[in-house]
């Protein structure tokens, strides 16, 4: 369908978009009835679905509890039925580092910006969500040692495995509830990293 259009139509369209004129819902009804005339490649649709899924997951996690990078990456990977090797081979991150990352055993600041760029592209993670998680995970890693020392004083379990699990759970709960101001030097390091990450185009 190639109808003749001119600048008057443009003028009316702009007025419609700016809310100066209305079609009283007729345009919206037409859109619903019209068959889409543009086709999109399956790969484009799949990539968009993946991006939306990541956003959905990130929103859901935000609504329930603050999420660390490890928990987020693990959930996202399992959601997409991927193995750690799949991520490793696609992002170029070493296997050990990736495993530590998934378990929040390493500060995200130790991972290069290049690797983060690859991760963002691979998982389609929105920058603001990533920044939040980096901030939280860095805090968690930084404060974990002091959590452990504190919590150990209260833990009386003899079984090593049970003790570790209890400590881990307690540390996570404490982290979720706590406000954790980083020392100035650490905060500056974190801010500089986040700034560089934002400047790095995905």
Partner 1 sequence: MARFSNQQIVRELKEGDRLGCRHLVDLYQERLLGEATRVFRVPRLDAEELVSDVLLAVINKINTFEFKRSDGDFHYWLMTIFRNRVRDFMRHRAQTDGLWENFDEAALEDDETYSATEREVVRSILRNYEESLGSPEENEGSAKSSARGALEVIAEVLDQLETWERVLLRCRALEIPYEDIARYTGKTAKQLKVYHARVKKKFLNLLGRQTPKVQ
Positions that interact with partner 1 (CB under 8 A): 3-23, 25-32, 34, 36-40, 44-45, 48-49, 51-53, 55-57, 59-60, 63, 79
Do residues 147 and 174 make contact, with C-beta atoms less than 8 angstroms apart? yes
- The residue among 5 and 185 lying less far from partner 1, judged by its C-beta, is 5
Find the shortest distance in angstroms from Cβ 21 to partner 1: 5
Rounded Cα distance, 171 and 163, in Å: 12
CB of 64 to partner 1, least distance (A): 10
For tokens 């070493």, the residue is 94
Q: Where are the alpha helices (DSSP H) in the chain?
A: 7-17, 26-33, 42-64, 69-79, 84-91, 95-102, 113-123, 127-154, 160-177, 184-199
Nearer of residues 31 and 145 to partner 1, judged by Cβ: 31
Q: How far is the CB of 26 from partner 1 (least distance, A)?
A: 6
Question: Who's near 1: CB < 8 A, 6+ residues apart?
Answer: 37
Q: Compute the least distance from the CB of residue 23 to partner 1, in Å.
A: 5
Nearer to partner 1 by Cβ, of 4 and 177: the residue is 4
- If the CB atoms of residues 44 and 152 are measured against partner 1, the closer one turns out to be 44
CB 179 within 8 A of CB 97: no
* Tokens found for residue 193: 């990293």
Instruction: Tell me whether residue 49 or residue 191 sits nearer to partner 1 (CB atom).
Output: 49
CB of 53 to partner 1, least distance (A): 5
Q: How many CB atoms lie within 10 A of CB 191?
A: 12
Query: Where does residue 193 rank: exposed (0-12), middle (13-18), buried (19+ CB within 10 A)?
Result: buried
């Amino acid at each position: 369908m190639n109808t003749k259009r001119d600048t008057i139509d443009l003028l009316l369209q702009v007025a419609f978009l700016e809310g100066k004129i209305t079609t009283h819902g007729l345009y919206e009804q037409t859109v619903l009835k019209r068959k889409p005339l543009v086709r999109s490649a399956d790969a484009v649709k799949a990539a968009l679905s993946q991006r939306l899924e990541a956003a959905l997951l990130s929103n859901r996690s935000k609504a329930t509890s603050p999420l660390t990078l490890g928990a987020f990456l693990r959930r996202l990977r399992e959601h997409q039925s991927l193995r750690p090797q799949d991520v490793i081979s696609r992002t170029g991150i070493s296997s050990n580092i990736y495993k530590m990352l998934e378990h929040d055993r390493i500060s995200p600041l130790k991972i290069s910006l290049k690797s983060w760029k690859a991760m963002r592209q691979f998982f389609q993670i929105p920058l603001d969500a990533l920044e939040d998680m980096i901030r939280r995970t860095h805090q968690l890693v930084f404060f974990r040692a002091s959590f452990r020392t504190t919590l150990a004083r209260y833990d009386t379990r003899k079984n090593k495995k049970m003790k570790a699990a209890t400590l881990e759970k307690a540390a996570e709960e404490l982290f979720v509830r706590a406000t954790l101001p980083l020392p100035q030097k650490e905060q500056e390091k974190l801010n500089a990293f986040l700034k560089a990450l934002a400047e790095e185009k995905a």
